[in-house]
Every structure is written in structure tokens, then in C-alpha cells.
Structure 1
Amino acid sequence: MKLKAIKKYCIPIILIVIALIIEMFLSNYKLIGLDKAEIGKNSIDYYIEDNNLIIDKIDSYIKKLEIHYEADEDAIVTLNYVYLNEFEKGNAGSCKIELYEPLNSYILNIGKNIENIEIADAENVKITDIYINNEYTFSFIRAFGISVLFLLLYYVFYNRKHICKRLDVLGLMIILGIGSIMIVSVPSLANMAPDEQIHVYNSYYNSSLSHSEFSEAFYFVSESPGHSLPLSIETNLDLNEHLNSKEMTEAEASPKSKFVTYDQAPYLIAGLGIKFADILNFPFTIGFYFGKFTNLIFYAILSFFSIRKSKIGKKIVFAISILPTSIFLASHYSLDGIMIATLTFATVMFLNMYSDKNTKITKKDLALFIFPVILASFAKAIYAIMILLLLLLPKDKFSSIKQRRLFKTSIILILLLLSFTYVVPMMTGGIAGDSRGGDTSFAGQVTSIVTHPLGFIQMCANNIYIGVYKYLFNPENYNFFGYLSAPDSTMRLLLFVLLIYISLTSGHEFKIIKGKTRGIIIFIVLLISAMIYGAMYLTFTEVGNSLVAGVQSRYFLPILLLILISILPRNKYIANNENLEYSIISVFYIIILFISVYSTMIVLYAI
């Protein structure tokens, strides 16, 4: 018993200590071989040539470059440099950085042996001093990330003999752990997830039911186009300190309606976190993170219950719930995470009701299906079509023919009611073209379709043909981090192979879904897909264009489980040791997730 307690409580503490030691080594091991004079913070000489700032004959290791400047407005400069690789061969490198007007200094991670540096495009900024910063540092965020990695791997190892029964808890831990790393690693700016500036505005606007309050800090983080992300933890901290200053956080409250429109309801989730931070009088940047965390917690809890409640396809639900793309979207002010979580949960509830032939339909099961679909359709009305799945429930689920007919009538009425949020604005001209798509016009696009019906049909067929690979079989879709740099292609491919393996070896569990039912599910999937394409073609595509603009893979993630139900083979596969198999799969999944986040977020912004 004592040995078991040691394993359960002491080993995690040891792993955290090891993570701290590893971080201390990673941050400072390159300083060990330097001369004493090179350690610390040293000023460096430079000169101006052809309006470019030149620093030559450096020939030394630079951990961080510290630039001090004076500017009347934000200025984007280009840093060109020559560094020596492992074989002491010169290589050229370049990056753009944004020097923020209020900060007066910028620290840039270099971590290379540099020969010379050129700072170009610096006409609108006066650089006063430049330092080589080779001081000893410690990244608490990287230490946190490594700790999360070790603890997740340890949980899998500790439960390896019955991990299949713990997939719900493991999924919850992965989502909260990896999602938290994503949130704390990236800067307090809103230009990472697609359309995030819009979602930030709506979340803050709905964080209070009685008034709206927007500070200068809010306008700074939600400005579109967004600011360049600071490429070091030091500059991020300086930026946060500026955003939390009195002059940036003062704002006058304006009265607003206490009524929240249906399309704004999903923003109440992030708004709850923002309001909670406001009540506790936390700084602005902490409140900004709280909004993200409440979105993540909502996604994690609903995913936990999706995995736990799933009677068939549990492993596939687990794999979908911990997709890197889904966790990333859930960790930001995007509504996509909410839609993925709600519709995956609704699909699980449908599968449970459909597969349990001996149990009559209950109000609880119906509520657990309908309310998530309604919440998702508030965000994007096209997903209201999911309500039609209830029409596929077997007749044995009802006590009488009358009850079954009344039930089907109610479902049709609910669908019509939800459709009003999409159809009525379309019919009344309330939907206009989105200027971000170019020369768009809703009315002009409709006229074009009416006058060229055969061309429209051909265009639809071509786009669907292209989209099957682009949005379903493209590995990039499942390990995608918005506007941040893309994860390594190897990680994307490994994850995709893992997803295929999980799907093919677990797909037999859907054999209870008969051919006719599968056909109807495919029709529902195609109908939702057509509405996605239709919405983007009418509002986001230039009139007469033969390629639908604005369609993205994230729109299909909420119906990924439905798609897999439709296309997976029914061949039965039984692993010799299922717990061992999923212990190995979980380890690979966790490592892929961590490396993807580490390379795209921690290394760039949190060190």
C-alpha cells in the first residue's frame, strides 16, 4: 500500500522537479562554453549605412538581442543576419519584428553564433542602444509545458493495464494540460485564431448584461489587422505591463441592452471568464486569459462527457476530442471549439439512443441532444440540420404510433424555427456580401446563379471534388494552429496516420448503423456541407468566381464523427491487448501534441 502511494503521489513530484532541471539546462547550456566576458548583458557598437543599421564583426554567440529605441508610432523593421551552423558554415537568416511605440525596448530570441546583423526598414524609428543579452534565464512556461508532458505520460503508464476505461479522464487531462500551455505561451493579442478579433469584441461586449466598457488595452489587442507577435517572453511581459497600466485600462461604461440575441449567446461562455476576472479586479491581461480559459474548460468538460457517455465508438470520440486543431480553437476566442464540442456530444447522444433498442426514448436524452445542437446553431445556423438525426430513431423507441408521429412533427417544427435564423435574413436581404472576400454581393451572386444554372451545378461538383481531399484527407487540417507557424509536417503526418488507424480499427463498432440509415446520415452530411459552401459562395466569394472562397476545414470538424459513421467499414478488429495498444497510441498522441505546441508557441513566444 505504501509503495502504491509513493508511485501515485511522490513520482509526479519527482517528475516536476526533473522538468525544472531540464528547463534550467535548456535555457543556459550554451552559456557554459562562453568566456566570462561574454556572459551577461553587453553593449554592442553599430553604424548606419544606406539608412540601414549595421552590426558587423560580432563572431560570438547571442542568446538574446536587446534593442532600445524611440518611436512616434509602431514600426516594423527587418532583421537580416548571418549565423554559423553546426559545421561553422555561414547561413543567412531574416525576420520581421514590430517595435511598439510605448515600450521603447524589444528583446529578440536569437540563440545562434552570429557573424553580423543588419536592421533594415528602420526609417520611422530611432535606435538608441543595442545589447547582446547572454544572461542566465529560466522559462517557467517551458518548465510548465515539460511538466504537463511528463505527468500525462506518467498517467498513461500508471493506468496502462486499464487505460481504455480511463480515456475520458485522460482526454480531460490532455485538453486542459495542452490547452493551458497554448494559452500561457502565446501573447495577449487576438490575431491567432481565425476571425479572433470579432470574437474578442463580442465576448467582451456580452461579458456584462447592463453596460459595455472598452478600454485602450482592449482596442490594442483586438485591432484588425493585428499586431505582430512579440518574439520573446520578456517583450511579452513588457507589453502586458503596458496593457495593464492605468492609462490603458481606464474606460467609460456605456449602457447596453440586457437582452442577448440568439447569435450572441455562445459568447456568454468566454464572457463569463472575463466578468469573473473583472469582479476580482484582476489586471486586463489576466481577464483576457480568463476568457480563453472558460472556453477551454467548457470544451474540456463537454468532451469528457462525450467520451464517458459514448457506448459505441468511444476511442474515435477520444481521438476527435483531443485533435490539436480542436484544442487550439477551444483555447482562443473562437466559437469553433464550442461547436465541435456540442455537436460531437450531440452525435454521441444520438448514437446511444439509436443503439439502445430496449430502452424507450427519454426527455433527458432528448434534452442532451437538442440543447447542444441549438447552441451550435446559434453560432452557425447551418448546423441546425443535425436535428434531423432524431428522425432516424427506430420505432421501438416509442410507446405508440401517435407518440412517434407527434415526435417527428415536433422535430420538423424545431428545425423550421432554427432555420428562420438563416433563411429569413437571406430572403429579406439582411445578408450582405462580406467585404473581406473582395468584390462580393449577395444579390449579385444570386442573379449570377439564376442566369447560369448549369454553370453553377458544374462549379458545385468541382468544388466538392476538390474539397473531399482538401477538408477531409489533408493531414494539415487536424494539426492546424491558425495564423501561427505550422507544426512540423512529420508531426502532421504521424497524427493523421494515427487517426486513420484508430478509425479503421474501431469503425466496426458502428456496424449497428444499417445501410439505409447510413445513407440518410450521408445525405445529412452532404446537406450541411452544401450549406457551408452555399453560405461562403453567396457572401464571401466574388460574383461569378468558379472557386468558393472562405471554406475552411474547421467548419467540418463538428460533423467529423458523423462523417466517420458514414464511411468507416464494418470489418471487425480485435486487439490482442487493447489496453496496451491504447497506452502506446496515447503516448504517441501526447508526444505529437507537445512537439507541435513546443515548436510553434513555446520556442517562439515563451522563452
Structure 2
Amino acid sequence: NLLAYAAMCYAALRTAHKCKPAFLCIMLLPMSLYMGASLSYDATLLGCYYLMLALLTQEKWNDKTALCYALACVFANGTKPYINLLWVVLPFVVRRSEWKVRFRRAVYAVLTAAGALALTFGVEQYGTLLRHNYGAIARQGGAAVNGGAQLLFVLKNPLRYIAVLLGTLYENDDFIGQLGLFGWKDMPVAFISLTAPLVLLLAAMLCTPAADALGRRRTGWLGVFGLVYAVGAMTAMYITYTPVAMVRIVGLQTRYFLPVWLLVVVAAAALARRALAPRLTAEKAAALAVPLCGWYAFAGAVLLFQHYFVGPVYTIYK
């Protein structure tokens, strides 16, 4: 998984025409590396996300670009079905004048969606036919989970569901505090968990040239996609994993939002760097980024060593 994740990230960095520091920022987040080095399928899934977004930074799409995006999209849908069908529409962000593919964009989207659904149904059939000797994995909520009843509840109570979304984000600190540390639940160090994403964002901002902005149109549509994708992921967990009418969403994890954070960093880094361009040259900014990350890494290493081998302060005096 780690080799596959590294290869996908390398391909994404080679493919991206803009905002490479922002991509590297998210790829190096401890949560991203933690998933990349795990046994979870999210390792290659995250790599597909980063590759698809990198392809969208290119100014011209040819047959090779379109094929690469389609393969990554189909694989992502086979790995985590249905919610990833949203990625099928993103090639429409590319302007018509930039579309140099033999198929029209509508035809391309239909073919990609067909491939994604074919792989999804194939995986489901495999599960039905060849895994019948394995016991069923019960939902955390047990019999209280009912997708149809939950969907009906959401449709009848939209304002209540909006409150559930906002309340879940509030309870989890918008999932920001879980991005900055390996094994967040095993060894929480609050300072690192909260500040590591900010330091990487600052480094990405310093290293991103002012000319790397994607443009208002592309940035705006990608922002809309990020919002829809985040709400869709939360709604999917609410319908399929959460007891009916529960006041919070069960099963949400930080890794689900990593592609959304990438879009946020791409937009924020390029716009902030453009605002600082008159006062801070690219050479000075890049020179500041290295010592910033170096000294922060040293401080983080000291804190991790203290927590692993010494323990919290109160245990010393005890």
C-alpha cells in the first residue's frame, strides 16, 4: 500500500501543472501518510483523488489525460462506490477550448460512469457469490439502522438534518484536529494535531508562485464540488450507518475529507501568495519555508519522544 501510495503521489506531482506545493502539503499530512502505510484500501483511493485533481490543473486535456482520469475515477468507484460518481462530472470544469479529446465531454462522462458502475456491480457480485461462507458484518447501530427510513426522515426534516450536519462538525472540531498526528487516537498530542496542518498550509502558501492560481471559474466550480462532496459523504454515513433520527452522524472519519482539504489548500495557498507577492518575493518565501518546517519537525519530535518514553508532566511529579 505504501509503495502504491507513493507511486500515485509521484504521478500526481508530475502531472500537476499548478499548485504542486499545495498537493505536497496534503500528501505529507500525517493522516495521509498514516493511511498510505496502512492495510486500508484508502491508500490507493487517496492516491486516485490526488491524481484526478492534479489532472484538473492542466490547461489542455488530450486523449492520454482523459484516459488517465477515467481509469482513476473507475478505480475509485470500484473501491468506494456511488459517492465517487460525483467525480465523473469534474471534467466539465475544463473549458471547451482546452478539451482536445476525441470524445465530447458528455460522451466521455457517460462512458466513465458506465465503467464505474460496471466495476461497482462486479465487486458486489463477487461479494454475493464468493463470500457467502463469511459471516455478515453487522452495523454499529444494529437493527436501529434503516436506510429507507433514514432517507425519509432526512427528506421530511431538512432543517433538522442541517442541524445534525453542523452539530457533527462542531463535536469533531471540523475534523481539523485529527489531521496532524500519526495514530491520532493512540497518541494524541493536542499541540501537534492542531498546528501541523497550519504549518504545512503556511509552507505551501510560501512555496506556491503567485501565478499558480487556477482562475476564478475553475476555483469556484471546484469549491462547489468540495462542498457537495463533503455533504454527500456525511449524508451517506447518516443514511447507511446511523440509527434513524440520531442527533449525530456515526462513523465519520477525517480521511473522508482529505480531497476536500486539498481543494481548500489549493485555493487558499494560491490566493494568499498572490496577495503577498508585492512584499515577499518567491525566493524569500521558499527560503522561509524550509527552516519553518525543520524547526517545527524538531519540536514535534521532542514532544512525541516525551509522550512515548517519558509520559505526561503529571506522571513525572507523581
| Bucket of the pairwise TM-score, normalised by the shorter protein | 0.7 to 0.9
Cα distance per residue 1:557-580 (max 9 Å; x no partner): 134222434566724133441331
Paired residue for 1:529? Answer: 230
Q: CA deviation at 1:493?
A: 3.0
Cα distance per residue 1:100-150 (max 9 Å; x no partner): xxxxxxxxxxxxxxxxxxxxxxxxxxxxxxxxxxxxxxxxxxxxxxxxxxx
The residue type paired with residue 244 of structure 2 is V
Paired residue for 2:63? Answer: 363
The change in CA–CA distance for 1:524 and 1:493 in structure 2 (over 3 A counts) is closer
Superposed, which structure 2 residues align to 1:421-570 within 5 Å?
435-440=138-143, 444-450=146-152, 453-455=155-157, 457-466=158-167, 470=172, 472=174, 474-481=176-183, 483-486=185-188, 488-502=189-203, 504-505=205-206, 506=208, 508-509=210-211, 511-514=213-216, 516-565=217-266, 570=271
Paired residue for 2:110? Answer: 412
Q: CA deviation at 1:345?
A: 1.9
Mapped to 2, the partners of 1:434 and 1:562 lie a distance apart of: 34
The change in CA–CA distance for 1:530 and 1:491 in structure 2 (over 3 A counts) is closer
Mapped to 1, the partners of 2:289 and 2:139 lie a distance apart of: 44
Mapped to 1, the partners of 2:251 and 2:110 lie a distance apart of: 30
SS of aligned partner of 1:518: helix
Residue 336 (structure 1) aligned with residue 36 (structure 2) = no
Q: CA deviation at 1:495?
A: 1.1
Match of 1:385 among 86, 90, 93: 86
CA contact (8 A) 2:149 2:244 kept: no
Paired residue for 2:292? Answer: 585
Q: CA deviation at 1:389?
A: 1.4
CA contact (8 A) 2:164 2:248 kept: yes
Q: CA deviation at 1:599?
A: 5.7
SS of aligned partner of 1:543: coil
CA contact (8 A) 2:36 2:42 kept: yes
The change in CA–CA distance for 1:416 and 1:475 in structure 2 (over 3 A counts) is same
Paired residue for 1:305? Answer: 11
CA contact (8 A) 2:29 2:197 kept: no
The residue type paired with residue 586 of structure 1 is C
Q: CA deviation at 1:598?
A: 4.6
TM-score normalised by structure 2 residue count: 0.76
SS of aligned partner of 2:56: helix
SS of aligned partner of 1:479: coil
Mapped to 2, the partners of 1:463 and 1:451 lie a distance apart of: 12
Q: CA deviation at 1:421?
A: 6.3
CA contact (8 A) 1:471 1:552 kept: no
Match of 1:346 among 52, 77, 81: 52
Residue 320 (structure 1) aligned with residue 26 (structure 2) = yes
Superposed, which structure 2 residues align to 1:221-236 within 5 Å?
none
User: Runs of 5+ in structure 1 lacking a partner?
Assistant: 1-294
Residue 395 (structure 1) aligned with residue 96 (structure 2) = yes
The change in CA–CA distance for 1:449 and 1:296 in structure 2 (over 3 A counts) is closer
The residue type paired with residue 292 of structure 2 is I
Mapped to 1, the partners of 2:140 and 2:209 lie a distance apart of: 39
Mapped to 1, the partners of 2:74 and 2:303 lie a distance apart of: 33
Q: CA deviation at 1:498?
A: 0.6
Query: How many residues in Structure 1 have an aligned counterpart in Structure 2?
Result: 292
Q: CA deviation at 1:507?
A: 8.6
Superposed, which structure 2 residues align to 1:129-148 within 5 Å?
none
Mapped to 2, the partners of 1:592 and 1:383 lie a distance apart of: 38
Mapped to 2, the partners of 1:578 and 1:535 lie a distance apart of: 41
- Percent sequence identity is 15
Mapped to 2, the partners of 1:589 and 1:369 lie a distance apart of: 36
The change in CA–CA distance for 1:376 and 1:395 in structure 2 (over 3 A counts) is same
CA contact (8 A) 1:349 1:369 kept: yes
- Structure label with greater radius of gyration: 1
Mapped to 2, the partners of 1:318 and 1:525 lie a distance apart of: 19
SS of aligned partner of 1:582: helix
Mapped to 2, the partners of 1:325 and 1:334 lie a distance apart of: 13
CA contact (8 A) 1:507 1:568 kept: no
SS of aligned partner of 1:550: coil
Paired residue for 1:40? Answer: none
Mapped to 2, the partners of 1:340 and 1:592 lie a distance apart of: 28
The change in CA–CA distance for 1:379 and 1:441 in structure 2 (over 3 A counts) is farther
Cα distance per residue 1:205-260 (max 9 Å; x no partner): xxxxxxxxxxxxxxxxxxxxxxxxxxxxxxxxxxxxxxxxxxxxxxxxxxxxxxxx
The change in CA–CA distance for 1:332 and 1:424 in structure 2 (over 3 A counts) is closer
The change in CA–CA distance for 1:503 and 1:466 in structure 2 (over 3 A counts) is farther
The change in CA–CA distance for 1:399 and 1:472 in structure 2 (over 3 A counts) is same
Paired residue for 2:316? Answer: none
Q: CA deviation at 1:547?
A: 1.4
Cα distance per residue 1:29-50 (max 9 Å; x no partner): xxxxxxxxxxxxxxxxxxxxxx
Paired residue for 1:89? Answer: none
SS of aligned partner of 1:519: helix
Residue 373 (structure 1) aligned with residue 79 (structure 2) = no
Q: CA deviation at 1:303?
A: 1.9
Q: CA deviation at 1:424?
A: 11
Q: CA deviation at 1:321?
A: 1.1
The residue type paired with residue 261 of structure 2 is L
The residue type paired with residue 379 of structure 1 is T
The residue type paired with residue 553 of structure 1 is T
The change in CA–CA distance for 1:567 and 1:579 in structure 2 (over 3 A counts) is closer
Mapped to 1, the partners of 2:55 and 2:62 lie a distance apart of: 12
Mapped to 1, the partners of 2:299 and 2:292 lie a distance apart of: 11
CA contact (8 A) 1:388 1:411 kept: yes
Q: CA deviation at 1:535?
A: 2.3
TM-score normalised by structure 1 residue count: 0.43
CA contact (8 A) 1:302 1:345 kept: yes
Superposed, which structure 2 residues align to 1:91-130 within 5 Å?
none
The residue type paired with residue 410 of structure 1 is Y
Cα distance per residue 1:411-468 (max 9 Å; x no partner): 1332254246669999xxx9xx9634223456x341244266332x124312332455
User: Runs of 5+ in structure 2 lacking a partner?
Assistant: 129-135, 312-318
More RCO (CA 8 Å, sep 6+)? 2
The change in CA–CA distance for 1:421 and 1:300 in structure 2 (over 3 A counts) is closer
The residue type paired with residue 474 of structure 1 is I
SS of aligned partner of 1:512: coil
CA contact (8 A) 1:347 1:369 kept: no
